């Protein structure tokens, strides 16, 4: 049964300001170097505590149809993992409002899982190091757990917080051409060329020397990514435009909110877009 305790949490959209793939490992994963940043907006989770150990999940929102609320959902996986560290009988009725497109390179299930850990830890008064729980749930979940600007290595689970001057609060536009893109095929299409380390000292370095090594593979699978990047790169006031993660969502940073909003209005109406800001570190 539900009890009075109730809380909410945002699953902040993730972007990869740059993503360098260094090598394919013996375990099948890839070593990467990436600068993760997070939007101020994303999916929204809410939960009411239960005292009978049961976890339930309901999903609504514009992208709810792309998700399954059954036991394999990462939200429920995160909840079950945290239950092992919680008080006896800890349970919750969880509601996910899915505002972000699915399989889009902006966190998705990883951000939702991380938000679930933050939300239920508060709801159940759990005091434990959640990074090891996050790492077992997926490569991006450890970065999404703090949802702060950071440098990720290894599979992405080894994180180092970074302060990049001029980034926090920057106007941000996320754009998806309406296509989902699974991570596996994109990594499989990577050309296995190590093009060098990622310099992440400042935005100038990220714009001039950073890259997304998965972009060529993703664009072969979803050519519309090229259309999105061409449109974003020519918008007045844009400072950086790039594909995020394994795609197909792209992002652009802008000099001002006015420039960001003008760009959002100029894009083809059929593309999904979210006008937001970079979350403060």
Q: Where are the domains of the chain?
A: 2-159, 164-277
Rounded CA-CA distance 195/203 in Å is 19
Strand ranges, E, within the chain: 2-24, 30-50, 55-60, 91-97, 150-153, 158-161, 171-176, 238-243, 250-254, 272-277
Q: Are domains 2-159 and 164-277 of this chain identical in fold?
A: no
The correct answer on CATH 3.30.70.890 for the domain covering 164-277 is yes
Predicted structure pTM score? 0.94
Q: Which residue has the tokens 């679930």?
A: 116
Could you confirm whether 140 is annotated as catalytic?
yes
Q: At what angle do helices 109-124 and 74-83 cross, to 10 degrees?
A: 30
- The pLDDT of residue 281 is 67
Rounded CA-CA distance 2/19 in Å is 43
Task: Look up the CATH number of domain 2-159.
Answer: 3.30.230.10
Marked catalytic residue, from 14, 98, 112, 179:
14
Marked catalytic residue, from 41, 43, 112, 140:
140
Half-sphere exposure in the Cβ direction for 64 (13 Å, CA):
12
Mind listing the pLDDT tens digit for each residue in 100-125? 999 999 998 999 999 999 999 999 99
Could you confirm whether 43 is annotated as catalytic?
no
Q: Which token pair is 199?
A: 């310099």
The answer to whether the bond into 110 is cis (omega within 30° of 0) is no
Low-confidence ranges of the chain (pLDDT < 70): 1-5, 281
């Amino acid at each position: 049964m539900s009890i009075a305790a109730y809380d909410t949490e945002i699953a902040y959209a993730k972007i990869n300001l740059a993503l360098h793939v260094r090598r394919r490992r013996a375990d099948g994963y890839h070593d990467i170097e990436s600068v993760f940043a997070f939007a101020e907006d994303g999916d929204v989770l809410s939960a009411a505590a239960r005292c009978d150990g049961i976890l339930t999940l309901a999903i609504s929102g514009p992208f709810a149809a792309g998700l399954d609320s059954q036991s394999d959902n990462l939200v429920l996986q995160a909840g079950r993992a945290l239950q092992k560290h919680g008080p006896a009988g800890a349970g919750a009725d969880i509601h996910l409002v899915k505002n972000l497109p699915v399989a889009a390179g902006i966190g998705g299930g990883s951000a939702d899982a991380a938000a679930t850990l933050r939300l239920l830890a508060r709801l159940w008064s759990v005091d434990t190091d959640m990074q090891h729980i996050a790492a077992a749930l997926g490569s991006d979940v450890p970065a999404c757990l703090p949802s702060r600007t950071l440098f990720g290595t290894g599979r992405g689970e080894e994180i180092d917080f970074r302060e990049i001057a001029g980034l926090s609060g920057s106007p941000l536009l996320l754009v998806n051409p309406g296509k989902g893109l699974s991570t596996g095929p994109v990594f499989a299409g990577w050309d296995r060329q190590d093009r060098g380390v990622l310099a992440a000292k400042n935005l100038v370095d990220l714009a001039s020397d950073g890259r997304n090594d998965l972009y060529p593979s993703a664009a072969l699978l979803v050519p519309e990514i090229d259309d999105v990047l061409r449109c974003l790169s020519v918008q007045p006031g844009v400072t950086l435009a790039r594909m995020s993660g394994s795609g197909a969502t792209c992002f652009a940073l802008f000099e001002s909110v006015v420039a960001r909003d003008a760009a959002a209005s100029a894009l083809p109406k059929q593309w999904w877009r979210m006008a937001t800001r970079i979350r403060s570190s």
